[in-house]
Amino acid sequence: MTETRVPLIARAVATLTGSSRVSNLPSVQAMRARHSRSAVGGETSPAHEGPQRIAVVINPIKGNADEARMRVSALCREQGWEEPRFFETTEDDAGVQMTRDALAHEPDVVLAGGGDGTIRMVAHALAGTDVPMGIVPLGTGNLLARNLDIDPDDLVGNIEAAIFGVHRAIDTSTVRLERQDGSADEHTGLVMAGIGFDAEVIAGTRDDLKSKISWLAYGEAGMRKLVGHRHVVEMDLDDRGRKRFRMRSVLVANCGLLPGGIDFIPDAVIDDGTLNVVIMAPRNVLEWFAVLGKVVFKHRRSLPAIRYYNSREAQISTQNALMTQVDGDETGDAVAMRVTVNPGALTVRVLAPKMDKQLSNPA
């Protein structure tokens, strides 16, 4: 462990002292070995041999964006590779067209540098292609990163993993939202989509608090939104028949780890070809605390206020338009939401996995 961490610590010190160039980087072979040595039984291998063509889609307003640029460029120079190409997201496009532009240059990997929105847009453009995505989380929630055992605070390590890691095929979802005016639109999901309370919390989170206390700001919004009415909805899982019930929120997830290490959906696996559907229907504050206790303490006792189901497709419709979200991004009010899983649709580069539930099948 000491051998692995010392170079990373040294380069972190270089950043703090204002160095504009990363010197003494280990060789390609050394970094490749570090990111594959923990593979179990030789089942995983380095993602790429030889020089690489690197493209980076980056959100320029994120706090570590400039440092990320510097780190990627310095790594490529040290290895004698061509300069990486950078494509900046804009307020109007969080990364889709930029990723398509990057693909025109035939990169070996596209790094997504930004928050969950940027990573989701890059994934939308890469899903179904043979080009992998490297994840450089620079946001507040960093939901996909956490579910792939990526530490959002280890910028250098994440860049190394994105360039020298192993390939993993993970599921995505297609989220179709129907609006009250009859229009519809589709979104790519990586973590979880929701309708109702969870989307209201995201919409109600204060930007000034997010900048001060990061993901804890969502908790403050949650407390403000806790008291409210349940909504009548109908749901059909895998065309097994529609059922009507009252709820505060329905979540449809690929994976279930939240900031703070909260495993909201313990049975969720990111590459099992299955969606996990959670219905939250507490009637009062006391039942909300019962739900919280079940999630935090991971007890298996069933509660009427929260129910879990597995499905490959979930269709949800409401009497009145309700707020929706996909991977922590507001996606407007909708009267219906259909979520369909796309097994193994996206290839990502990550550290060689531990044998745990989050990454179950080597690519």
| DSSP assignments along 226-241, one per residue | SS---EEEEEEETTS-
Kindly provide the b/e burial profile for residues 20-46, where b requires at least 16 CB atoms within 10 angstroms of the residue's own CB: eebeebeebeebbebbbeebeeeebeb
pLDDT of 109: 97
- Whose CA is closest to 146, among 189, 191, 177? 191
- How far is it, in rounded angstroms, from Cα 313 to Cα 110? 29
Residues pairing with 309 in the sheet: 277
- CATH 3.40.50.10330 residue ranges in the chain? 2-171+345-350
Question: For residue 339, which phi and psi values (nearest 5 degrees)?
Answer: -120, 125
Calculate the average pLDDT of the chain: 83
Least confident of 52-61, 91-100, 216-225, 291-300: 216-225
- How far is it, in rounded angstroms, from Cα 287 to Cα 94? 38
pLDDT of 328: 87
pLDDT of 78: 94
When pLDDT is cut at 50, 70 and 90, the band that residue 323 belongs to is very high
Residue 261 token pair: 């290490």
pLDDT of 5 > 50? The answer is no
pLDDT of 321 > 50? The answer is yes
pLDDT of 36: 41
CA angle 276, 281, 286 (to 5 degrees): 125
**Three-class DSSP category at 110:** strand
Bigger pLDDT: 183 or 358? 183
pLDDT of 290: 86
- CATH 2.60.200.40 residue ranges in the chain? 172-343
pLDDT of 362 > 50? The answer is no
Bigger pLDDT: 48 or 37? 48
Mean per-residue pLDDT for 206-211?
72
Helix 65-78 with 155-164: angle, nearest 10 deg: 50
pLDDT of 213 > 80? The answer is no
Mean per-residue pLDDT for 39-59?
69
- How far is it, in rounded angstroms, from Cα 105 to Cα 103? 5
Please give the sequence-ordered ranges of beta strands (E in DSSP) within 283-328, or none if there are none: 306-311, 313-326
pLDDT of 215: 63
- How far is it, in rounded angstroms, from Cα 63 to Cα 193? 26
- How far is it, in rounded angstroms, from Cα 45 to Cα 39? 8
Q: Tally Cβ neighbours within 10 Å of residue 261.
A: 7
Residue 259 token pair: 């900031």
When pLDDT is cut at 50, 70 and 90, the band that residue 3 belongs to is very low
pLDDT of 13: 28
Least confident of 72-81, 100-109, 257-266: 257-266
Count Cα atoms within 13 angstroms, Cβ side, for 306.
20
Residue 58 token pair: 């980056």
pLDDT of 150: 93
CA angle 94, 98, 102 (to 5 degrees): 145
pTM of the model: 0.80
Output the CATH code of domain 172-343. Answer: 2.60.200.40
When pLDDT is cut at 50, 70 and 90, the band that residue 218 belongs to is low
When pLDDT is cut at 50, 70 and 90, the band that residue 214 belongs to is low
**CA 329, 330, 332, 335 torsion-angle sign:** positive
When pLDDT is cut at 50, 70 and 90, the band that residue 205 belongs to is confident
Least confident of 26-40, 73-87, 210-224: 26-40
pLDDT of 46: 53
pLDDT of 209: 73
Instruction: Calculate the CA dihedral of residues 38, 42, 46, 50 and round it to 10 degrees.
Output: 130
At position 319, the amino acid (one-letter code) is Q
pLDDT of 113 > 50? The answer is yes
Least confident of 142-151, 182-191, 299-308: 299-308
Superfamily of domain 2-171+345-350: Probable inorganic polyphosphate/atp-NAD kinase; domain 1 (3.40.50.10330)
Residue 98 token pair: 């930029």
**Residue spans of alpha helices (H) in the chain:** 2-16, 28-34, 65-78, 96-103, 116-126, 143-147, 155-164, 197-204, 207-213, 217-225, 285-297
